[in-house]
Amino acid sequence: MPNPFSNKRKIVRQSASDGGKKSKRVKLRPGSDWTKRNFITSVWIPSLFTKRSGMRARPLFPKLQPGQISITWIGHASFLIQTHDANVLIDPIWSMWLSVIKRLKEPGFHIHHLPSIDFVLVTHAHFDHLDRRTLRAVAADQPIVVPVGVGRLVHRLGFNIVHELDEWQTIELGPLRVSLTPAHHWGARFLADTHRGFGGFVIGANSRSVFHCGDTAYFDGFKEIGERHNIEVALLPIGAYDPPLAREVHMNPEEAVRAFNELNARTLVPMHYGTFRLGYEPMEEPLERLRKSAREHGIEDKVLVMTEGKPVVL
């Protein structure tokens, strides 16, 4: 009999997943010449003196017809996805600081201007994706979906209906189908909590679909993700590819273009750049490199660069 006083009971783990490409934990040993540069003096200190850009305005969320999708970027990996029937937040972050790292771009609008949120998805437990303060503010008895091993972290923040997914598992959430996809990254929020999963999400709404890649290094799983889920819009990370410890944990813009082509998706929305300085690369470089690579591959017209807080209807 379920114990109504047990916190664990509310975290539902799906049954075992089928075969297919698995997530792989990346090697976390620093790259060979990481000591040649100093992240604190060359990136972190200058960023403290950088003026925050962007603005917050009252958002104009569109009234959607059945079959339409609206996407609003909040900055970094954070998005509001709206369909006619549901509002979904992915990796929401409104915080102005990631611990000691300054947010350099406004989220576009105040969190209290969000519409009511039906579902929340969190791709992994890293601080820039699982933001406690934001999740606490958003929690209102709606279901949350996370990779295996992340449930307890979000349950604690006020989410009472927690679904943990393993790679390739799918859950039906009202009018939506949400699947966890594999990635090459890692899931520990601290150091020893290596049991935590990580990945991306495909959100299906009838015939429409949006893929949020989560964080990943480039790997050979994109083709299979595209084959299993007919992906229309791909939200792909393009920044933090030159990280302090020179580890290969994030894709660069050229790899994102390659992933996009392998996914066989129709629209590429870049993310994970311009909000927090997490790597040595200059702030404007990811987008410049993405545009150049997209031109070279003839997919320029498929790239949709978003502005924080401005919904785009597709």
**3-class state of residue 267 by DSSP:** strand
Nearest CB to Zn ion, comparing residues 249 and 283: 249
Q: What distance in Å separates the CA atoms of residue 154 and residue 175, rounded to the nearest whole number? A: 23
Give the max Cα distance, the chain.
60
The nearest distance, CB 174 to Zn ion, in angstroms, is: 28
Kindly tell me the burial class for residue 44, based on how many C-beta atoms sit within 10 Å of its own C-beta (0-12, 13-18, 19 or more).
middle
| Residues 26, 186 contacting (CB under 8 angstroms) | yes
Give min distance, CB of 126 to Zn ion, in A.
Answer: 4
In the complex, least distance from residue 188 CB atom to Zn ion, rounded to whole angstroms: 10
Site string for Zn ion, 28-67 (x = CB under 5 A): ----------------------------------------
**Token couple for 50:** 């950088």
CB neighbourhood size of 51 (10 A): 5
Nearest to 275 by CA among 33, 35, 76, 138: 76
C-beta closer to Zn ion: residue 106 or 215: 215
Mutual orientation of helices 285-296 and 253-263 as an angle, nearest 10°?
A: 50
- CB 212, min distance to Zn ion, A: 13
The nearer residue to Zn ion, 21 or 126, going by C-beta atoms, is 126
- Cα-to-chain-centroid distance, residue 224: 19
DSSP for 272-284 reads S-SSB--SSS-TT
| Binding span for Zn ion by CB under 5 A among 63-71, 118-126, 157-165, 218-226 | 118-126
Which of 118, 215, 281, 285 binds Zn ion (CB under 5 A)? It is 215
Select from 80-88, 132-140, 208-216, 234-242 the region that touches Zn ion (CB under 5 A): 208-216
Q: Which is nearer to Zn ion, 215 or 254 (CB)?
A: 215
Q: Backbone phi, then psi, for 152, in 5-degree steps?
A: -65, -35
Give the interface size with Zn ion as a residue count (CB under 5 A).
2
Judged by CB under 5 A, which stretch of 2-10, 23-31, 38-46, 214-222 contacts Zn ion?
214-222
Q: Which is nearer to Zn ion, 202 or 240 (CB)?
A: 240
| Nearest residue to 241 via CA among 231, 229, 253, 223 | 253
By CB under 5 A, tell whether 126 contacts Zn ion: yes
Q: Is 131 in the site for Zn ion (CB under 5 A)?
A: no
Identity of the amino acid at 26: V
Which residue number, 21 or 185, has a Cβ lying nearer to Zn ion? 185
Q: Which residues bind Zn ion (CB under 5 A)?
A: 126, 215
